[in-house]
Amino acid sequence: MNIMQKPLSRSLPTAMPQEVGLSPERLAKLSDVMRHEVETKHVPGVSMLISRHGKVAYRENIGFVRPDGPRLRE
């Protein structure tokens, strides 16, 4: 899981999940579920970005762009 520690870009403000009322534990659970979907080959990859109150608080890429393609980049 990649809880925001540095900005994605100057146009997207970031925050720690708890600063905007999100639960790090529940985000970790979401990450586990999505990782399982990739590992069991239900989907080749998942790219997640969650924001609240105009701030990005969670970002993660898991798996591949397509089944025969390159890995998703962080």
Nearest alpha-carbon partner for 43 in 24, 18, 19, 65: 65
Q: Which SS3 state, helix, strand or coil, does residue 42 take?
A: coil
Which residue type occupies 42? H
Confidence of residue 6 (pLDDT cuts 50, 70, 90): low
Looking at residue 65, its pLDDT comes to: 86
Would you list the domain boundaries of the chain? 17-63
Q: Which SS3 state, helix, strand or coil, does residue 50 take?
A: strand
The answer to whether the CB of 9 falls within 8 A of the CB of 23 is no
Instruction: Enter the pTM of the model.
Output: 0.74
